[in-house]
Every structure is written in C-alpha cells, then in structure tokens.
Structure 1
Amino acid sequence: MPLSEETNIYLIGPRASGKTTLGKRLAERLGRPFVDLDAQFVAVRGETIAALVAREGWDAFRLAEAEILAETATQKGLVAATGGGVVLMPENRARLAKGLVLYLQAHPDRLAERLMADLNAEQRPNLTELGLKEEIVATLAEREPLYLSLAHACLPDRPVDEMLDYTLRALKMF
C-alpha cells in the first residue's frame, strides 16, 4: 500500500499495547491529526465504555465502535489508535484495510503488567470472567490472527522512542 498524505494510519493491537501513546507521538512527528477511537466514543456518546457495556453489553459497544470507525474513516490523513476489539467485526476490518495498518505486538505478561499499573476500568472494562492474565491469553488467541491478517507491518514491543523510530523506518517502505 502506498502511503500518501491522505492515507489514514491505523494502530491495532490488544489493550495496553501502546497504541495511544505511540499514536500521539507518531502523529506529532508526521504532522498529522491524531484520534483515539475509545476517547472519541466517550466524546460522542457522553459515557464511558464500561457504562455502555454494563447497561447493554459488548455487542452494543461493538456497534457503537463501528459507527465511530466509519465516521473516522471518512477523514483523511489521520493517525488513529483503535480499540483492541475493533478487528472483530468484518465491516471494521474492511474499513481498516483501506488505510495503512500497524499492529503493536506485546507479550501477555507485559500487557498484564501494564494493565495492573493502570487498570482504568472505565475505559478498559474486563472482557471476560477470567482472571486478567488468562483473559489476555484468551483474547490474543482469538484476535491475533485478525491483527496479523490486517497488518502492513508488525511493531515489536519496545520503549516508545524505539517503537517510534522503528515505525518511522517501516513507513518509509510504503
């Protein structure tokens, strides 16, 4: 996929993989607008992800998330950090595939460590009844094939400055 100024760059990966942190830095470096789809959900809906999930369930959130991605995808030249489960819906995968998709990989132990340090249950509610580590492993088993199928590049889990440098080098290939 050729990267133009109009091409949206989507960061995908599990919760706590660093999509928002890297996305902000990448957007700043590239001089592009940044959007965090989870933050956009809160701004548009006026409620947290956890509140909607508690009231209506995960399916309702996934539909709302799809609407936000659809609106975001109409814009051009963004760097967008997605929610970890955005890849679950086929229509979302089709929208993401129209941009450049970067998969932020991370080991389950590292994800658990990050989530324990910053639980943020309002924006990162539990996905299952499993314990945190088991949930991460199960979720990755389900989603990683989808992440890999969409990814134009896979970014290794490194400190953010190293990830930014790696990402900028990877973008030059496009």
Structure 2
Amino acid sequence: MEYSKRVYLIGSRGCGKTSVGVGLARRLKSRFTDTDALLCEMQGKSVADIVEAEGWDVFRDYESAALIKATEGDTLVIATGGGMVLREQNRSFMREHGVVVFIDVPPAELARRLSVDPLDKQRPSLTGKSLIDEIAEVLAERMHLYMESAQITVDGTQTVEEIIDNIVELLETKPDS
C-alpha cells in the first residue's frame, strides 16, 4: 500500500503501539519511530532516570520535543508514549500532521500484558498503586483524550497482524487519506 501521511499510534502503555508500529511501517514500506525510545536517545537516560531526576513535568517537555523531532525525517509511522495525549499541543500537532490511530485495549488485558513484560526500569509507576488499579485509573483519566485525539480507533485485543490489517483497511477507506 502506498500511503503518504504520517500515522501516529496512541494508547496506554502495553497496548501494542511499538509492535504494531514496526509491522505497520513494514507494510507501508516506511520508517518507524518510537517517541519514548527517541526521547531516551535524545536525553541519554531511561524514562525512569529522567522522571526520578527531573520529574514528570520535565519528562513531558522532553516527550513533546521527541514528538516534533520524530516528524523531521521521512518517518511515516510514529508510536507515542502513553501520556503523549496529556498536552493539548501534542494532540493538535498529531492531528494537524497526520492520522491519529488509537489502539484500544481494556484495563484487564493491559494488566495481563504488563505483568508478563512489565518494563519496570522504563516505565515508572504513575500512581504507586497496584498494576491493575494504576492501569484502570490512568486509562479512565486519559480515555477522553485518546478518543478526542483519534481519527481511527482499532480493537487492540486482536493479534498484531489483525490490528495492522485493520489499520491499513481503515487508512485506505478514510476519505481524507
């Protein structure tokens, strides 16, 4: 498939943005960037180290800078951090510069996935609560932002290949694509 607009993948941590993004970029014959990985590369530190040393507000500043940097090249598929939607400027930027795809996964499934592969060093707790309680709380707080930002929503409980197929089909049928 030939596709020339950027695709921004949004959703909670553990929803599959990176896995889907890598496969989607391959399918679209494009490059892939993960803003969390880019942010860590730009700062020379892990997310946990940044948050511990500089706090969440500074991390969010770095996150916004990584979003802009990710669009500087010819990359068409960009996976964003789960909190990218917290700032209005990021939501607007993504909508103005591409198509925003929300990978929707229920809290119980997110907790299951994250308990298998928690990435503790990269993803510090936002609330200090148990994994399922934190996921449910954070998702409840952010759901309206994900929905407001998304131009396409896909069921993230499917396999990675099914999610990619779904996104490609929706990109092909989207009137302004």
Structure 2-normalised TM-score? 0.92
- Fraction of identical pairs, as percent: 39
Partner of 2:93: 95
- What is residue 49 of structure 2 aligned with on the other side? 51
State the alpha-carbon separation in 2 of the partners of residues 27 and 82 from structure 1.
Answer: 14
Q: Secondary structure at the match of 1:21?
A: helix
Structure 1 residue 74, shift from structure 2 partner = 3.4
Superposed structure 1 runs of 4+ greater than 4 Å apart: none
Match of 1:169 in 2: 169
Match of 1:122 in 2: 121
Partner residue in 1 for 2:148: 149
* Aligned-pair Cα RMSD in Å: 1.3
The structure-2 alpha-carbon separation of the partners of 1:95 and 1:73, relative to structure 1 and needing over 3 Å to count, comes to farther
Using the alignment, how far apart are the partners of 1:19 and 1:29 within structure 2? Answer: 15
In the TM superposition, residue 76 of structure 1 has moved relative to its aligned partner by: 4.4
Partner residue, 1:40: 38
Deviations 1:17-60 (A, max 9, x none): 00000000000010011000111111111110000101111111
Q: Following the alignment from structure 1 to structure 2, what is the Cα–Cα distance between the partners of residues 114 and 4? A: 31
CA distance in 1: counterparts of 2:89 and 2:69, whole angstroms:
13
Long gaps (5+) in structure 1: none
Q: Is the 8 A contact 2:32 2:75 kept in 1?
A: no
Aligned twin of 2:109? 110
| Structure 2 residues not aligned, in runs of 5+ | none
Cα deviation per residue 1:101-146 (whole Å; 9 max; x = unaligned)?
A: 0000001010001111111112211111211111111111111101
Q: 1:80 is paired with a residue of what secondary structure?
A: strand
Contact 1:37 1:69 (8 Å CA) reproduced: yes
In structure 1, what is the equivalent of residue 61 of structure 2? 63
Contact 1:8–1:76 (Cα < 8 Å) also in 2: no
Matched residues, number: 171
> Deviation string for 1:68-126 (max 9, x for gaps)?
11222334451000000000011111111121000000010100011111111122111
